[in-house]
């Protein structure tokens, strides 16, 4: 389903006056507005191939209809998002949920939509049909060498798929761990996992990165073998310079100070990427910015500050990905909201008066420091985000265009009401 440029321009012209007034006001208030708009224009967020259908929960799934039936249609959906917001220019694939049988073709389909392939995700947390060994008691941590070997080979296979698509990173998330005290030896589980990761690491091309994703709980509820940022950092440090920690916002214990984790990982040069989502309780995978937008802003403050301190390019030196699930919303609308929430937090972080903040910190002026952060957070930066989209040929109001064009109804007509997407 395509929305051509004339259509988008038509919608834009309806709200252009209002937009220009709001933007002019902001430009008057913010001396470096032009710079922020251009940084926003470069910033792209990868959409996961598993987030285009209704995820549901283990209690049920209520499909929205018109969901993509194959990888081509998933790419098509991301292409549509990118067309509207010009900020979703990449896709992150999960293998074997989305196996690119004909990589040259898949690459061409993605290129036609202006999309690149971000991190490849391996999957040793489910058993696949025809698989020789079960991951019931873990994959890389497993006491059985055969099972570990199977998991290693799967990851190497994922790297091969990624090379064929032009991806440059592998995300490894292991559900390995234990449900009961005494079930495993923490030390042996760690050593086995490290050994397996090293064998996978050895297969990475020179220009590739490996992201070690951690998670505190679920599906194992007593211990997780890559359970927190300390353990992930330990693996990444032992593996070598191509290995980094990946932070999924939903993978922490309640009230964890994620912004501090981000600051320290960046300081150590070991932060590799993000899985953005939001949560109230656990790994809820809700729309980014829907529950704790201030936390998201504080995380971006550390990202901007830490990346600047290391001379890193915001747009390209970290992997920016969404990892969300959709139970009650149209997945495409939800993703538009998530991307915008990330852009808003990024723009607000770029607004922070860093010099004044450092000065306030140096004189222990706690009140001033808080005022400086909140001055940025309470600024409505949406006109700058919209302007970045407008300049790139996108929609001033992506959701209005999506709804105005009745995209979901069109997808249902073409793909049917009951579609089963692969993945979660
Ligand atoms: C695990 C996780 C991981 C998986 C994805 C489907 O909770 O965050 O990134 O690959 O969900
Ligand atoms: Mn994740
Ligand atoms: Mn998760």
Quick one: pLDDT at residue 59?
A: 82
Task: Check pLDDT > 60 for residue 337.
Answer: yes
Q: From CA 65, how far away is CA 315, in angstroms rounded?
A: 34
Task: Give Rg (Cα) of the chain.
Answer: 22
DSSP 357-378: HHHHHHTT-HHHHHHHHHHHHT
Mutate to test the pocket of ligand 1, among 248, 274, 319 (most ligand atoms within 8 A of CB): 248
Cβ distance 162 to 117 under 8 Å?
yes
The response to whether residue 173 sits with its C-beta less than 6 Å from ligand 1 reads yes
Mutate to test the pocket of ligand 1, among 57, 139, 213 (most ligand atoms within 8 A of CB): 213
Task: Check pLDDT > 80 for residue 208.
Answer: yes
Exposure string for 386-412, b = 16+ CB within 10 A, e = fewer:
bbbbbeeebbbbbeebbeebebbeebb
Over residues 350-356, mean pLDDT: 98
Over residues 108-113, mean pLDDT: 98
**Which ligand has the minimum distance to the alpha carbon of residue 170?**
1
Task: Check pLDDT > 70 for residue 34.
Answer: yes
Domains of the chain in sequence order: 5-415 (3.20.20.150)
In degrees and rounded to multiples of 5, residue 196 shows phi and psi of -65, -45
Quote the mean pLDDT of the chain: 96
Confidence grade of residue 197 (pLDDT, cut at 50, 70, 90): very high
Task: Check pLDDT > 80 for residue 377.
Answer: yes
Mutate to test the pocket of ligand 1, among 51, 123, 173 (most ligand atoms within 8 A of CB): 173
Exposure string for 152-177, b = 16+ CB within 10 A, e = fewer:
bebbbebbebbbebebbbbbbbbbbb
Confidence grade of residue 9 (pLDDT, cut at 50, 70, 90): very high
The response to whether residue 248 sits with its C-beta less than 6 Å from ligand 1 reads yes
Report the percentage of the chain scoring pLDDT > 90. 94
Residue pLDDT, tens place only, 93-107: 999 999 999 999 999
Residue of minimum CA distance from atom 5 in ligand 1: 323
Cα of 249 vs centre of ligand 2, distance in Å, is 8
Q: What is the ipTM of this complex?
A: 0.99
Whether this model's pTM surpasses 0.90: yes
Cα of 200 vs centre of ligand 2, distance in Å, is 19
Cα of 196 vs centre of ligand 2, distance in Å, is 20
Residue pLDDT, tens place only, 364-376: 999 999 999 999 9
Cα of 216 vs centre of ligand 3, distance in Å, is 10
- By the CB criterion, residues less than 5 angstroms from ion ligand 2 are 248, 275, 323
Nearest to 386 by CA among 113, 73, 87: 87
**Which ligand has the minimum distance to the alpha carbon of residue 424?**
1
For tokens 């140096």, the residue is 362
Residue pLDDT, tens place only, 258-269: 999 999 999 999
Confidence grade of residue 63 (pLDDT, cut at 50, 70, 90): confident
Residue pLDDT, tens place only, 225-240: 999 999 999 999 999 9
Ligand 1 atom closest to the Cα of residue 213 is 9
Task: Check pLDDT > 70 for residue 423.
Answer: no
Quick one: pLDDT at residue 355?
A: 97
The response to whether residue 176 sits with its C-beta less than 6 Å from ligand 1 reads no
Query: 194 Cβ partners below 8 Å, 6+ apart?
Result: 235, 238, 239
Confidence grade of residue 57 (pLDDT, cut at 50, 70, 90): confident
Over residues 34-46, mean pLDDT: 98
Q: From CA 68, how far away is CA 49, in angstroms rounded?
A: 10
State the first-to-last Cα distance of the chain, in angstroms, to the nearest integer: 24
Mutate to test the pocket of ligand 1, among 323, 324, 421, 424 (most ligand atoms within 8 A of CB): 323
Task: Check pLDDT > 70 for residue 321.
Answer: yes
Over residues 273-287, mean pLDDT: 97
Cα of 53 vs centre of ligand 1, distance in Å, is 15
Over residues 296-314, mean pLDDT: 98
Confidence grade of residue 417 (pLDDT, cut at 50, 70, 90): confident
Quick one: pLDDT at residue 62?
A: 85
Quick one: pLDDT at residue 58?
A: 80
């Amino acid at each position: 389903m395509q929305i051509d440029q004339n259509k988008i321009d038509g919608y834009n012209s309806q709200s252009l006056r209002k937009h220009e007034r709001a933007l002019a006001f902001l430009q008057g208030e913010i001396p470096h507005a032009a710079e922020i708009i251009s940084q926003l224009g470069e910033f792209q967020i990868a959409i996961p191939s598993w987030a285009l259908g209704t995820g549901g929960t283990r209690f049920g799934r209520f499909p929205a209809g018109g969901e993509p039936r194959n990888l081509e249609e998933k790419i098509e959906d991301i292409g549509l998002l990118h067309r509207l917001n010009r900020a979703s220019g990449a896709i992150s694939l999960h293998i074997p949920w989305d196996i690119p049988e004909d990589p040259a073709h898949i690459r061409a389909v993605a290129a036609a939509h202006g999309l690149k392939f971000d991190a490849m995700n391996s999957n040793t947390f489910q058993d696949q049909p025809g698989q020789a060994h079960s991951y019931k008691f873990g994959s890389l941590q497993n006491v059985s060498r055969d099972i570990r070997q199977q998991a290693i080979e799967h990851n190497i296979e994922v790297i091969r798929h990624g090379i064929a698509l032009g991806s440059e990173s592998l995300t490894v998330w292991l559900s390995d761990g234990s449900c009961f005290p005494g079930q495993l030896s923490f030390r042996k589980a760690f050593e086995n996992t490290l050994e397996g990761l090293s064998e996978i690491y050895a297969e990475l091309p020179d220009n590739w990165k490996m992201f070690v994703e951690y998670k505190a709980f679920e599906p194992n509820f007593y211990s997780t073998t890559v359970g927190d940022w300390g353990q992930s950092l330990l693996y990444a440090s032992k593996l070598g310079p191509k290995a980094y920690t990946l932070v999924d916002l939903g993978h922490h214990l309640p009230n964890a100070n994620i912004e501090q984790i981000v600051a320290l990982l960046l300081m150590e040069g070991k932060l590799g990427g993000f899985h953005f989502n939001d949560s109230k309780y656990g790994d809820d995978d809700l729309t980014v910015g829907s529950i704790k937008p201030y936390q998201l802003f504080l995380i971006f403050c550390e990202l901007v500050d830490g990346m600047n301190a290391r001379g890193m390019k915001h747009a390209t030196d970290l992997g920016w990905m969404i990892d969300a699930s959709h139970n009650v919303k149209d997945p495409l609308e939800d993703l538009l909201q998530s991307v915008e929430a990330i852009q808003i937090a990024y723009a607000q972080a770029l607004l922070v008066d860093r010099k004044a903040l450092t000065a306030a910190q140096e004189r222990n002026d706690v009140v001033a420091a808080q005022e400086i952060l909140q001055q940025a957070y309470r600024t409505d930066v949406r006109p700058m985000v919209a302007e970045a989209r407008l300049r790139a040929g996108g929609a001033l109001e992506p959701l209005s265009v999506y709804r105005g064009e009745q995209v979901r109804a069109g997808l249902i007509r073409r793909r049917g009401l009951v579609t089963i997407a692969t993945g979660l």
